[in-house]
Structure 1
Amino acid sequence: MALIEPQNPVNLQNLKFFKRDEYELTINQSIQSLLNSLQNPNPDLSVFTSTFLKLMQAKPNPLLETIWIFSGLTFQINNSLNDDLLGELSAVKDLFQSITACSDACSPSICIALIAPVIFKLHRLAVDSKKKNVDSKRGKKANREIRSLLDVILGYFNVCCDQSNGDDDSGLVRPLKDLVSIWVHGEKTENGAAFNGLKQFFPLFSDEIIDCVTEESAGVVGLLAGAVILEAFLLKLCLKFSDGSSRHELQNELRSWAVCSITGFHNFYFFDMLVNMLLEPNLTVMSLLSSEDESFLRKLLYDVVILPDYSFLNLEKVGHLSNNHIKNNILSRLTVTHEAIELFRKNKDHMKAISYANAFSGSHLPTLITKLVTSELGSRGSESQLKGSSPAAFLKWMLDLEDQGLNLCDGFMSKHRERLVGYSSRMDLDQPSSEKTDNSLLFFIDNKGNDDDDDENINDSMNDVFVAAAREMQSGKKRKESKKKKDGAKFQRYNLLGSRSVGEFDNDDSDSASEVEDPDSDEDRE
């Protein structure tokens, strides 16, 4: 196909010999020409197809933008008149295969990030299926195939994460909203309004998470990859609610699957965004779930985020990330844990609240928080002392330090101050452990010994652990011997005189080892 010179002023014949900055300039100009064309009532997208095909093939490791836009152009052209649910699903399958083939030489983060349009289309199909033919034979077949494709995608993400040597810190040639334009162009909302923008492209995300992904100037590819994993993760969870399983069965199955998946992905950005979602008043899943189901999912995610002690969050594993990301994640996890405890105490579910408190005490978090705060205090370390060992005690400690002028983590405490101060009047600073906790909820996981030789066994071992935990919950067996009370978190003596960044902290696992009990062990059999 001949190129239109006014729209494509750059000579594409010698792209292979371009330097990287020249290559990026060419891509930038071509994208701008495409965006200008999209302003026309009936743009001819086909004139740009060969341009982006050449841009994509010009380098052995093509940039994300070239694959993203080429796949978007070909999808729009070939499937513009497809209005059948199963036909659209078949097109989305082809899209997934096409993107994975084109990105074979790309970094793992780029490979994952490029699947964002596939998840966007799958979500639309899931919503349409729910509204239209949910009870028809074709509707049920579509639901099965949507979930089957989603499982394939999640498996692909697992492979990519296994191959990753660290988060991709590369940026984009153009803002993400420009890349999204090609995928939402021509779409309409239910009321007939123009369907465009990041909010429509990422329907399962809050505005805050979308801002997090789009506002970063560097490292946006790694963030986008984490966001795409989270989208697929949430979509999988939401679609399981249509199975007709009982709440008890659903809780056991989804909780086990979610923890195994998080462990397999071992992706910091994905987990960080998941935690931050729980700081929002509501999960953005109402397009697929009822308000009752949303509340159930939130409580399930509290279990998934709080109870396991994921080793991929250890400082030694995240040292390549920025200090602000690490610090904010630590404080987000602390805040979510505190709010979950408060929620279940308010609902009179003291067993669950105590399980969360025990999980916190037995995790790495208390030591990490102490190191974080004392590094900020420096020589002022004696100014304020921690009183208690619960999440509430840590939050009260940090609020007091903020009142004394300490700015923790670029204003994290200030940002959430209103909600935290609202709790402070009823903060129980030393929530005690109890012997009467639900032992099946104590999902402490210790993966820090996973060497390369053990990687192939991780999924099987994790599944075994959670199948055992699920059995215990179903059987309702009473323990013959009560567990020993957990001590409060053991804090290392730390040098308060030298201010050190969190990224430089030594990681000491000696007092944070965690374990999962086997419900079928001899000492537990009646």
Structure 2
Amino acid sequence: MALVDPQNPIKQQTLKFFTSDEYELAVNQSIQSLLDSLQNPSSDLSAFTSTFLELMQAKPIPLLESIWIFSGLTFHPKISSKDDILDQILAVKDLFQSITACSASCSSSTCIALIAPIIFKLYTVVVDSKRKVVDSKRGKKARREISKFLDVILGYFNVCSDGSNSDEDSALVRPIIDLVSIWVHGEATENRLKQFFPLLGDEIINWVTDESSCVIELLAGAVILESFMLKLCLKISEGISKEEVQNELRTWAVCSITGFHSFYFFDMLIKMLLEPNLTVTSLLSAEDDSFLRKLLYDVVILPDYSFLHIHKVNHLPINHIKNNILARIMVSHEAIELFRKNKDHSKAISYTNAFSGSHLPTLITKLATSELGNHGRTSQPKGSSPMAFLKWMLELEGQGLSFCDGFMSKHREKLVLYSSRSDFGQPSYKGDEGKTDEDLEFFIDNKGNDENEEEKIDDSMNDVFVAAAHAMRSDANGSGKKRKEISVEKKKDGVKFQRQNLVLVDHSGENSSLSEKEDDSESASEVEDPDSDSDE
């Protein structure tokens, strides 16, 4: 085994074998020596290529860092000689093949996290194609190739997520900024991180790169999020009618989230929606940005994803779970208020109903009262809307409950502003107002349900989405009768829809009675994860 001497990276020392601690030390020393050499542009890095190849091959399961750096050292010479965009895409595809081959024995999270440099380079190619070859046939072909390649990558993530390799939430042996420095040179630390993670906001970047909290699973979630957002942005920017693409993207996004079943990916997506602006300005117009945000609201609020239920995430730090719960309530509230402001009360009530019928209210109540003990049981939310729960949590904080530590205090000013509304517990829908969304589908994710009766989705959940469907269909003649077909059925490996005839009668414009008649003669239609079988 050859180890680079930190004092002389060209001279090699022989090391026949070493323990795990010695291996990590060898990787650390080699990385530091490489970083030192990168300060001198004229340094010969050829010795490092062979060194990291040997480090990568020295263990049956190599460290993420050794694969990451070896790939960077071998990729840069290839890409630097490519001026044509299509040739650059081919080089990135070669990089993908190399990384996936090198990481075959690694954990699922490691396999996904290692794709970070590929997404960085793909994003760079997309931006360059817009700037250099706008409206040219070659530029359009490049974007099509990138979109197909992203399908392959997202399909790979889906396979990794279903893999048998166990994740031990292992930490990196080097800070992420050191690994990023292999790909981004000549920038200040903060700029390097923003350049490498162009589709992540500052808060998420700080979380992912925090040395005290970063684990490989967290980095993997960030990589999935960037890939997911890049795919959506490419599709939206194709110029297709929003009405035509909306249902397709919404279904694809829900199926993808179900397939990934990654807590950290979903958590980052939620927190991204709490930011004033999505970090997609280089890819989308302001109008498309607004469309994307509304689409993502549907995707994260309407389904009740089973992989987020407490028994599926109880291995994670409890503070991460609590922060996610608070963020989801805030996003639901902000989405409701956005559509109320835009006079789309039907969409607002559909979000309210989806929230109140999900597992969140029960979970919030259990977590809060368990921490407060008997004192917490005397207080309950004054309503079932997201704002009612946010106001209740603020009141409990005044009693000494520190529900979400720093996250609560960070958003306290915003929460206080929310709770200042006098109508926080009131319905946000009026039967004769608002514009309907005829094409909206309602999704229930049953992937991974087990025999735990408390976590099963039952008939009451169907009623929630039926009520939401009621709100989304306004009657043109004002009679109050509305009909909506929705589909709900358990399926192990995806989201399956079964057609049902649901008749909703609104007698007063505010309250409704529900009757349901199942039609067994209707055949079930099925929507699979579009990436799960991708072999492009």
TM-score band, normalised by shorter chain? 0.7 to 0.9
> Structure 1 residue aligned with 2:294, among 299, 302, 320?
299
* 1:477 Cα offset (Å): 11
1:234 has 2:229 as partner? yes
For 1:123, give the aligned amino acid.
Answer: Y
Tell me which residue corresponds to 1:27. Answer: 27
* 1:344 Cα offset (Å): 0.8
Tell me which residue corresponds to 2:137. Answer: 137
1:204 has 2:199 as partner? yes
Q: Quote the Cα distance in structure 2 between the aligned partners of 1:368 and 1:194.
A: 40
Tell me which residue corresponds to 2:488. Answer: none
> What residue ranges of structure 1 are gaps of 5+ in the alignment?
453-468, 484-513
8 A contact 1:71–1:98 mirrored in 2: yes
Give a deviation string over 1:145-166, Cα, whole Å, max 9, x none.
1111111000000000011566
Counterparts in 2 of 1:423-434, with a 5 A limit? 423-432=418-427
Task: Report the 3-state secondary structure (helix = DSSP H, G, I; strand = E; otherwise coil) of the residue aligned with 1:11.
Answer: strand
Task: Report the 3-state secondary structure (helix = DSSP H, G, I; strand = E; otherwise coil) of the residue aligned with 2:181.
Answer: helix
Counterparts in 2 of 1:80-479, with a 5 A limit? 80-163=80-163, 167-185=167-185, 197-217=192-212, 220-382=215-377, 384-432=379-427, 441=440, 443-447=442-446, 450=449
Q: How many residues align?
A: 470
Q: Name the CA shift for 1:299/1:481 in 2 (closer, same or farther; >3 Å).
A: closer
Tell me which residue corresponds to 1:496. Answer: none
Q: Which is further off, 137-146 or 78-87?
A: 78-87
For 1:106, give the aligned amino acid.
Answer: C
8 A contact 1:355–1:441 mirrored in 2: no
* 1:212 Cα offset (Å): 0.9
* 1:427 Cα offset (Å): 4.7
For 2:8, give the aligned amino acid.
Answer: Q
Counterparts in 2 of 1:35-114, with a 5 A limit? 35-114=35-114
More helix by share: 1
For 1:294, give the aligned amino acid.
Answer: D
8 A contact 1:53–1:70 mirrored in 2: yes
> What residue ranges of structure 2 are gaps of 5+ in the alignment?
452-467, 485-494, 504-516, 520-536
For 1:179, give the aligned amino acid.
Answer: L
* 1:86 Cα offset (Å): 1.1
Q: Quote the Cα distance in structure 1 between the aligned partners of 2:165 and 2:46.
A: 38
1:11 has 2:20 as partner? no
% identical aligned pairs: 71
Q: Name the CA shift for 1:99/1:520 in 2 (closer, same or farther; >3 Å).
A: farther
Q: Quote the Cα distance in structure 2 between the aligned partners of 1:195 and 1:384.
A: 45
Q: Name the CA shift for 1:57/1:521 in 2 (closer, same or farther; >3 Å).
A: same
For 1:134, give the aligned amino acid.
Answer: V
Task: Report the 3-state secondary structure (helix = DSSP H, G, I; strand = E; otherwise coil) of the residue aligned with 1:184.
Answer: coil
Tell me which residue corresponds to 2:523. Answer: none
* 1:421 Cα offset (Å): 1.3
Q: Quote the Cα distance in structure 1 between the aligned partners of 2:132 and 2:15.
A: 49
* 1:411 Cα offset (Å): 3.4
8 A contact 1:49–1:73 mirrored in 2: yes
Q: Quote the Cα distance in structure 1 between the aligned partners of 2:103 and 2:264.
A: 21
TM-score (norm 2): 0.81
Counterparts in 2 of 1:486-501, with a 5 A limit? none
8 A contact 2:175–2:211 mirrored in 1: no
Q: Quote the Cα distance in structure 2 between the aligned partners of 1:134 and 1:215.
A: 38
Q: Quote the Cα distance in structure 2 between the aligned partners of 1:306 and 1:112.
A: 26
Give a deviation string over 1:250-290, Cα, whole Å, max 9, x none.
22111111111001111100000000001111001111111
RMSD: 3.2
Give a deviation string over 1:14-33, Cα, whole Å, max 9, x none.
1xx31101000000000000
For 1:375, give the aligned amino acid.
Answer: S
Task: Report the 3-state secondary structure (helix = DSSP H, G, I; strand = E; otherwise coil) of the residue aligned with 2:275.
Answer: coil
Q: Name the CA shift for 1:48/1:56 in 2 (closer, same or farther; >3 Å).
A: same
Task: Report the 3-state secondary structure (helix = DSSP H, G, I; strand = E; otherwise coil) of the residue aligned with 2:283.
Answer: coil
Q: Quote the Cα distance in structure 2 between the aligned partners of 1:378 and 1:3.
A: 57
Q: Name the CA shift for 1:196/1:397 in 2 (closer, same or farther; >3 Å).
A: closer
For 1:296, give the aligned amino acid.
Answer: F
For 2:446, give the aligned amino acid.
Answer: N
8 A contact 1:214–1:220 mirrored in 2: no
For 1:430, give the aligned amino acid.
Answer: G
* 1:431 Cα offset (Å): 3.2
Q: Name the CA shift for 1:390/1:142 in 2 (closer, same or farther; >3 Å).
A: same
* 1:66 Cα offset (Å): 0.3
Q: Name the CA shift for 1:149/1:276 in 2 (closer, same or farther; >3 Å).
A: same
Q: Name the CA shift for 1:200/1:219 in 2 (closer, same or farther; >3 Å).
A: closer
